[in-house]
Amino acid sequence: EEEAGTRLFSNFYVIRFDGEKLGPDQHQKTFVYREPGFLRIAELSTKFRERYLRRYSEVEVYSSHTPKKDMDTKNKVYIQIFAVKPLLSAVGGEQGVSKSLAALQARSLNVDRFYYESPFVAPGGDSADVSAVGKKRTILTTRATFPYLFKRLPVAKKEEVEMSPIQTSTDLIVEKCAELTKELDSSAPRSNVIQQLLQGSLLTQVNAGPTAIAKVFLGGGSALYPADDVGKLRTTMLQFTEALKRAVAWNKTYIDATQLEFQTMLEESLASFTTMVEELAGVDELDDE
């Protein structure tokens, strides 16, 4: 499935050009390019560098979300390249992140909004504290929709949305859940991928990862956050727990004797995590309603 998605569908990149020699149609212009799913950013950068070096003596290709400062645009051509994702629905932790073949196809058709994200830490906060880490989502809108006659479309609009720490954490859990579900639902689940996801979710430090997110935002301090955001995180955490149960059960059928200790650790951690999430989410209260 992964190979099929890579073969059939697309990656999207923002490419900005700076250089007076390029002329007014390209200088200081930003485009979204649609490229084959197998083409990675390193290959794309090399391709553009070689193409423009045939016409201009000095070309610099760089990958960054912000344009370079102090550019010598009179004598040199600068090409900024970075990856973006199609924005399929609402901002704030609800956008489609499933990587099934249907979702991969949907994200390549009739799309004109793309996004990239930059994390930030609240003033005086610690980057290791999930309650202090948010992110800025930048949304770019193109002048038409992909697929298009040409592989690139100019950017017509740029918006910035700041996501709070609880929204940022919910988004992270949504992505983890989608990755795990996508792998489990594939025709040939990869044990190394599933085990890496399980290890990163269940065998992290007590004050890190999903455990920290649940304790900080669903625990005693939940009243500090908007009720809607807490509700979304609660639902997402319960869905994530079900995905973890599936993955741990799948792993048990796959492992050999050399991984029995690892499986035992996963099962013990899953039991503790499930109990914690259900208590913090008030599962008994929800069942009584």
Decide if 210 contacts 240 (C-beta within 8 A): yes
Neighbours of 157 (CB within 10 A): 11
Q: Which of 23, 99, 95 is nearest to 55 (CA)?
A: 23
Q: Enter the DSSP assignment of 68.
A: P
CA distance 168 to 258: 37
Average pLDDT over residues 70-83: 97
Q: What is the DSSP letter of 67?
A: P
Q: What is the pLDDT of residue 57?
A: 95
Mean pLDDT of 68-93: 85
In the chain, what is the straight-line distance between the N-terminal and C-terminal CA atoms, in Å? Answer: 40
Q: State the Cα–Cα distance between residues 166 and 133, nearest whole angstrom.
A: 9
Among 97, 92, 87, smallest CA distance to 140 is for: 87
pLDDT score of 155:
98
Give Cβ neighbours of residue 243 (< 8 Å, ≥ 6 apart). Answer: 177, 180, 181, 184
Beta bridge partners of 30: 16
The tens digit of pLDDT for each residue in 19-59 reads 999 999 999 999 999 999 889 999 999 999 999 999 999 99
Tokens, residue 219: 């625990």
Identity of the residue numbered 238: L
pLDDT score recorded for residue 207: 61
Q: What is the pLDDT of residues 83-125, one digit of tens each?
A: 999 987 543 444 444 444 455 555 557 899 999 999 999 999 9
Residue 283 pLDDT grade (very low, low, confident, very high; cuts 50, 70, 90)? low
> What digits encode the pLDDT tens for the residues 124-179?
999 889 999 999 999 999 999 998 888 999 999 999 999 999 999 999 999 999 99
CA dist 229 and 225 (Å) reads 7
Residue 286 scores a pLDDT above 70 = no
Query: What percent of the chain has pLDDT above 90?
Result: 75
Q: Give the integer Cα–Cα distance in Å for 33 and 11.
A: 8
Tell me the average pLDDT of the chain. 88
Is 80 exceeded by the pLDDT of residue 205?
no
Q: Which pLDDT does position 143 carry in this prediction?
A: 95
Q: Is the pLDDT confidence value at 69 over 80?
A: yes
Which domains does the chain carry? 1-163 (no CATH), 166-288 (1.20.58.740)
Q: How many residues does the chain have?
A: 289
Q: How confident is the model at residue 220 (pLDDT cuts 50, 70, 90)?
A: confident
- The whole-angstrom separation of Cα 170 and Cα 229 is 8
